[in-house]
Chain A
Amino acid sequence: MTTQTPAVVAEDLRKRYGTTTALDGFDLTVPAGTVCGILGPNGAGKTTAVRVLATLLRFDGGRARVAGHDVARDPAAVRGAIGLTGQYAAVDDILSGRQNLVLFGRLHHLRPRAAKRRADELLERFGLVEAADKSAKDYSGGMRRRLDLAASLIRTPKVLFLDEPTTGLDPRSRNQLWDAVRELVGGGTTVLLTTQYLEEADQLADRISVVDHGRVVAEGTSDELKRKIGADRVEVVVRDAADLGEAARLVGRATAAPPETDPDVRKVSAPVADRVAALAEVMRTLQAARITVEDIGVRRPTLDEAFLQITGHRAVS
């Protein structure tokens, strides 16, 4: 596959369950070797989209190609090119970690010895050597998720689907998983990641598609999405809470915009058009008024705010 062929193309995908519309004209293009984040609230259609693209679910309309293969016409070829890590760890609970990986290796048609060797490599790589012979049900949440990821990497997939891979994980396990994903992408794998966590999309994804009600409502890099919803803001934290009112008035004058104050953290903020000029002007004005500033900066809106702006509701209810 050349880098010119996108790893995933979905055009106008449609899927209904009875009266519920899960996918309503879902479009997506993921260039090979990149990470695409699909961001959306519960029930937005993220999981349905992944299940359709991973050949687990038939769809009612539209077209989809994964790793150059048509999902509807040649699902077997798609299966041969993908890895899938689901929302809940999809491993055999009773078998040990090693037995799980050997089992999946055999089902990937590796010879017995090759399957064992691959299992050992993956156990090593995901820090599961010590727990290799324990039942998966005795693993911690983070270990299970790592085993699950390892199981989807038996044959290094061209396209890896990660459906909310870090839901319910502690920050350390989450970071470990993120590192593993970055390493894979470094090796040329294309990753399609669904998440409810804006930070996760921000951290991992080259481009983000915001999904709501079964279709993509916004698309771009994380910076682009943030910019889309408007201005940067200058933020000032004053040392003395008594100065807050005066600081707000001065910031408002300097930026020619209505300031917002947050007394709990002694913060004043206001939207700005020209980042650098506004920062300098605010700084000069406050210094002239002899107000002691503890912190000052210009920041982009968070993806959280971007999401709220785009969909009209919060990401996580």
Chain B
Amino acid sequence: MSALRWGIADGWTMTRRNMAHVVRAPEEIVIYFSLPIMFVLVFGYVFGSGMAVPGGGNYREYLLPGVFVMTMLYGLGATATGVAVDVSRGVVDRFRAIDMARSALLVGRSGADLLRALLEMATLVVCGLLVGWQWRHGVGDALAAVALVLLLRLALTWVGIYLGLVVPNPDTVSVIVFPVAFPLTALSNVFVAPELMPHWLGTVSAWNPLSATVAASRELFGNPGTGGDSWVAQHPLLLSIAWPAVLIAIFAPLAVRRYQRLSR
């Protein structure tokens, strides 16, 4: 199984390469961090006073799991841009002309972005604790919630990789991601409970993949705003695993095929 061994080794080498980028260009990560922190402050404090949580409870406590997930979604932009930068430069040719695992470039991108997401989560958790968020169940449940958030991020890395390969122009990619990401978060339970939206909007928002992960992590953290009468609202845990699995099942093969088509 030396192919598998090198697949893992080369994937890890590429992961470390991408992590080295973060260390060498930390200004980029500051930008990605400032956005969710700003959302915590703006939505938590400015609008938060007027926001209702179904079933009562602190709005900031309700908000934080949403911000975790939103941060994961915005990370998709970094993934796509990273891939697009590689593909638009000759460096991808060099990788492909080396007798290394063919999967390494994509696996390394996914791995590095997942590690980065772990860092982002750590920061957000600290940030959350400072504004009054907390986990009310055991550490085990809290870690499970974090794992679900990261699972969604893993799925989103493959969406991002595919996007970066389809639109191999770094500037275009970042222009595409933001206008898609913002409505996606607004049309979910990140800021507002679907029950409080007009009926059809609430349904769309409840079925949003982001909502599944947010609802499941709220439940595991013991934060307010969980539950509801609909089938979706009753099964957040199931959906928070199913949605990312579906995304990976669709986008990972698409990305791999697209990557292989570079040799056409």
A109/B93 contact (C-beta < 8 A), A58-B263, A94-B25 known? no
Given the complex, which residues of B lie within 8 Å of A103, measured CB to CB? 13, 17
Q: How far is the CB of A18 from chain B (nearest CB, A)?
A: 11
Measured between alpha carbons, how far is A132 from B262 in the docked complex, in Å? 31
In the complex with contacts A103-B17, A151-B94, A93-B89 CB distance below 8 A: yes
**Residues 210-239 of B at the A interface (beta carbon under 8 Å):** none
Whether A257 sits at the interface, judged by CB under 8 Å, is no
How far is it, in angstroms, between the C-alpha of A99 and the C-alpha of B17 when the chains are bound?
Answer: 9
Q: Mark A68-94, 1 if CB is under 8 A from B, else 0.
A: 000000001101101110111111111
Q: How many of B's residues come within 8 Å of A, CB to CB?
A: 26
B257 contacts chain A at the CB level, 8 A cutoff = no
* Residues of chain A lying within 8 A (CB to CB) of residue B89: 88, 90, 93
A96 / chain B contacts, CB cutoff of 8 Å:
24
Given A56-B96, A56-B97, do A94 and B13 touch, yes or no (CB 8 Å)? no
Stretch from B71-79, B98-106, B177-185 forming part of the interface with A: B98-106
Q: Is the CB of A90 within 8 A of B20?
A: no
Shortest distance from the beta carbon of A285 to any chain B beta carbon, whole Å: 58
A148-204, CB < 8 A from B: 151-152
Interface contact tally, CB-CB below 8 A: 75
Bound CA–CA A57/B260 (angstroms): 10
> Which residues from B are CB-within-8-Å of A104?
94, 98
A247 within 8 A of B: no
Smallest CB separation, A51 vs chain B (Å) = 8
Give chain A's interface secondary structure class.
loop
Chain A positions within 8 Å of B96 at CB level: 55-56
A55 / chain B contacts, CB cutoff of 8 Å: 96-97, 263
- Chain B residue numbers with a CB within 8 Å of A308 are none
How far is A87 from B98 in the complex, measured between Cα atoms in Å? 17
Asked if A90 contacts B13 (CB within 8 A), the reply is no
In angstroms, Cα B6 to Cα A77, docked, is 15
Question: Across the interface, do B13 and A56 meet the contact criterion of CB distance under 8 Å?
Answer: no
**Cβ of B6 and Cβ of A90 under 8 Å apart?**
no
14 intermolecular pairs with C-beta atoms under 8 Å apart: A57-B264, A77-B99, A79-B99, A84-B93, A86-B90, A89-B90, A94-B20, A95-B17, A104-B94, A107-B13, A107-B95, A107-B98, A107-B100, A109-B9
